[in-house]
Amino acid sequence: MFFRYLSRELRRRSKQALVVSLGLAVGIGLVVAVSAMATGVQRAQGTVLHSLYGVGTDITVTRAAPEGPARGRFQVGAGNDRQRISRDRVLTSPGQASFDASEADTIAKLDGVSGAVGGLDLSLIHLNGKLPRFTLPSQGAASSGASTAQSSVAVTPGQINVSTSSVSGIDTSNVSIGPLSATELAHGRTFTVSDAKRDVAILDAQFANQKGLAVGDSITIDGTSFTVVGITSPPVQGAGSDIYLPLAKAQALAGVKGRINTVYVKATSSESIATAKRAIMQADPKATVSTSSDLAKQVTGSLSSASNLATKLGTWLSIAALVTAIALATLLTLAAVGRRVREIGTLKAIGWRTRRVVGQVMGETLVLGLIGGALGIGLGIAGAWVVTKVAPSLEATVSSAGGFVGPSGSGPGGNPFSRTIAVALHASVTPALVVTAVGLSLAGGAIAGLFGGWRAARMRPADAIRQVV
């Protein structure tokens, strides 16, 4: 009787039922789409963060450098003759101080820390080309006077190309933490413990492609030839270093033997990240300790804008739509119950308990809520699909001066002080989101039903007769 009566009532008021269901569907659809987008943005952030400082890394520890020039400088020949040059200079990342490598071992023993490895992030600047040529006047002409001689110097313009690459020194004893852990090996092999003192390198696939290098080839950095043993792909475009070297080799290139500028820390669990951060800050007050959530705050660019859009505007828009839909459903239910005074009064007159009548009204709105929820989930999935299809690739820019130490610089002309990464937005509807949407739609139906039921409960059986007197 309950379901027969319920289905017939809904069919009788099909237009109103449709309005209520569609209203709830729009509200639920918005919640699903916006939440899917927020999840997508969150995942994009996670991808960016992990790609920047490793899947296995929960915390990075750095130290801010005192003001001053970056270590390393070019020593171009002082001669003024035209000359070809091809020089490399390896610099530690500006703004970041190096510290003793033993710090990683100290941190590894702290509370909440599962493992810690040291890393050295460097910038490799390569100059290649011809210096300008200054042609001095002939001897005879020179004797005619200094002023004349000065004006007769001929200058032939040179051409110098500058390219910047990023280099990461990797602790080969543990590659599961740190920047190499975020990458996927495309060819060759990764580092092993025995590589610690070898002249071997792993290259980023795009970088290797640009330079025409493959596994087995050699790359010369500042006069040292490294054998390419592996080619890796970063999880997202623009992430990762161009060149990975064993830590000791990177230290030697930069002239900072036994020193590192980043400690990559893995916490014992996600819950212990805060504990580990506190312990590190206590052990080393000078350190800048950044967790992934700290880093998320430093991310700027369209990814950050999308995150703000999804979490602020999107959330409020969803709440507003949902509240409006539930209010609409409630008002329409109240109006419908109001029109059924005689019917409800009659049922009460013939002995239906108030609880049963309220249950009948609530059952109707719950079914409308479920229909609205199902439609809303469909709308939300469609919305998420559209967002994924039309959303432009998001860009995340992380400043290395903000406490984060990542591989700095990216290819020729890259800014060595920050890193911009492009990541696609995949708005995904998770099972948890579907469950939430069903819950919300049922809650919407229940709220409308409670108000409708409350009105029905207040009706007295005498109303059934009074209507006709």
Partner 1 sequence: MYELNDVTKRYGNGRGSVEALAGVDLTVGDGEFVAIQGPTGQGKSTLLQLLGGMDRQTSGTVTYDGRELGALSEGELTRLRAHEFGFVFQTFNLIPTLSSLENVETALVPLGVHGSERRRRAEEALAEVGLTQRAAHLPGELSGGEQQRTAIARALVKGPRVVLADEPTGNLGQETRDEIVGLLEKLWTTHGVTLIVVTHDDLVATRAARRMRLEAGRVLEDLPMGA
Our finding on whether 14 is near partner 1 (CB under 8 A) is: no
* C-alpha–C-alpha distance, residues 400 and 138, integer Å: 53
| Binding residue (CB under 8 A) for partner 1 from 78, 146, 390, 469 | 469
Residue 231's SS3 state is strand
Residues 6+ apart with CB under 8 A from 46: 292
Q: Is the Cβ of residue 9 or residue 284 nearer to partner 1 in the bound state?
A: 9
268 binds partner 1 (CB under 8 A): no
78 is a site residue for partner 1 (CB under 8 A) = no
Q: Does 465 bind partner 1 (CB under 8 A)?
A: yes
214 in contact with partner 1 (CB under 8 A): no
3-state secondary structure of 72: coil
Among 199, 222, 294, 343, binds partner 1 (CB under 8 A): 343
Helix axes 14-53, 315-338, angle to 10 degrees: 160
Residue 322: what residue type? L
Report yes or no: 57 and 370 within 8 Å, Cβ to Cβ: no
The contacts of residue 32 (CB under 8 Å, 6+ apart) are 376, 377, 379, 380, 381, 383, 384, 429, 433, 434, 437
Query: Of 297 and 460, which CB lies nearer to partner 1 in the complex structure?
Result: 460
| Min CB(346)–partner 1 separation in Å | 4
342 binds partner 1 (CB under 8 A): yes
- Collapse the DSSP code of 424 into the 3-class scheme (helix H, G, I; strand E, B; otherwise coil) and give the result: coil
Question: Contact at 8 Å (CB) between 74 and 358?
Answer: no
Give the shortest CB-446-to-partner 1 separation in angstroms: 23
DSSP 302-321: HHHHHHHIIIIIIHHHHHHH
259 binding partner 1? (CB under 8 A): no
Note whether 64 binds partner 1 by CB under 8 A. no
Cβ-contact 375, 440 below 8 angstroms:
no
Q: Pick from 12, 82, 189, 197: which binds partner 1 (CB under 8 A)?
A: 12
Each residue 445-464 as x (binds partner 1 by CB under 8 A) or -, in order, gives ---------------xxx-x
Under the criterion CB under 8 A, does residue 352 sit at the interface with partner 1? yes
Separation CA 185–CA 202 (nearest Å): 9
Q: Find the shortest distance in angstroms from Cβ 347 to partner 1.
A: 7
**Interface pick for partner 1 out of 66, 68, 285, 351 (rule CB under 8 A):** 351
Stretch of residues binding partner 1 (CB under 8 A), selected from 96-104, 122-130, 208-216, 345-353: 345-353
Give the one residue of 189, 353, 412, 435 binding partner 1; rule: CB under 8 A. 353
Measure the CA–CA gap between 406 and 51, rounded to whole angstroms: 10
Chain residues that interact with partner 1, rule: CB under 8 A: 1, 4-5, 8-9, 11-12, 342-343, 345-354, 356, 460-462, 464-469
